[in-house]
Structure 1
Amino acid sequence: MTTTSLATAGFGSPAASVRTRGVVTRFDPKRGFGFVVVERTRQKVFFHVSAIRSAAAQSRSQPAPGVVLSFQIDETDPRGPRAIEITVEDGSAWLVGRWMRLAGVWGVLAALGLVLGGVLTAWVGVRFGVVEAVAVGLVVWNGFTASLFAWDKHRSVRDGCRLPEAALLGATALGGTPAALGMMSLIRHKTRKTPFRLAMWSIVTVQSLLILVWLSRFLPTG
């Protein structure tokens, strides 16, 4: 194939006409660059904010993880592929579909586990009592929380679409603290992100205070 035909096919041309879409997995707002994973090929591509087409968009947009970009890929840079001619898309509907595909079997199993856990908790409550039901419910919820942390760690290794930190912190706040702390230590997940750790320990502190207040009701008075 000749050089001309190669350029026509879009190979080796920094401005190939073929556009693709991907989701941002990392972005450094101070230095203005990050990485985007191509929707179909899972290729990891570098991008700089200066490649966003609109100057107005450059000044107001923060392509944080999860934001959808439309772009061309420049394969001629010796440092590796980079995104050019970038536009920021409203990709909320696309991301919902992507989340559903990413959940796959894991999502079905997690939902099934929660349903079965809820049924088991209700049965224990009827058969034995409220205290036993709460204990079983906490075990089930901690299992679910552990699965959330494990899944998010798996996606981070593969540079995939991540779970929102609010989901991890929410599961922790609703009773999954032992599993959350255990998974953070076991698989070394979210241990370097100071804001996340501060939020986590704030939840632990509030929960500990609530437990102490509850236990104080059983202390002898006078």
Structure 2
Amino acid sequence: MQKTGTVVRWEADRGFGFIRSPQTDADVFFHVRDFRGPGTPQPGMAVRYEEIHVGGKGPRAMAVSACEPARKHAQPDVAPRTLAPAQRGGRPASTRPKAVAPRDPWLRPVLWVAVVWAMGLGWAMASGHLPKWVLPAWLALNLWTFAVYWRDKWAAQRGHWRTPENTLHLWSLLGGWPMARIAQQVLRHKSIKASFQRAYWLTATVHVAAVMAWVVLI
């Protein structure tokens, strides 16, 4: 379905951006290879595009092209930003403001719980409640969980095939919940989506409860 909108964000070094349209509730993702020049996309550019939906990941724009006549001085429909000191002083500065991840108030508590959890696993192994391979396997699983998150973030930036959210939750459920939380914050991936966060906390809780029940009952 063809629609029109305005480019509100363009990550030139990453090759993707977002279009805002009154015809769509969410901002629409598009990749540089889907842009049909001339020139390059810029914030404030009026465009027309074909909207598609792939795998439940939100709207995506294809065959993006600038509307004619081009709006040379149009501004994106976003709140104005204060110029950085380097820009006020006339020194060269990047036209793209650096994205800053919001601080996660739960990251530090999760890390402390993970440390205590690792100590608990060590005690359970030493006392014979769990096999000797459990703690090394848990550490390896967490490293793998971070790698899976990184791969999904990489695919999202380039418009490649994504890792299903259920797969990400599966690794948390199996024990990778500490590194999943770290990956969400460090990679700025899945850290804001409310439904994903609810499922993440559920998987972490179920895993901890299941292992504790195993140790107590065995």
TM-score w.r.t. length of structure 1: 0.45
TM-score w.r.t. length of structure 2: 0.46
Q: Bigger radius of gyration, 1 or 2?
A: 1
Q: Indicate the structure with greater helix content.
A: 1
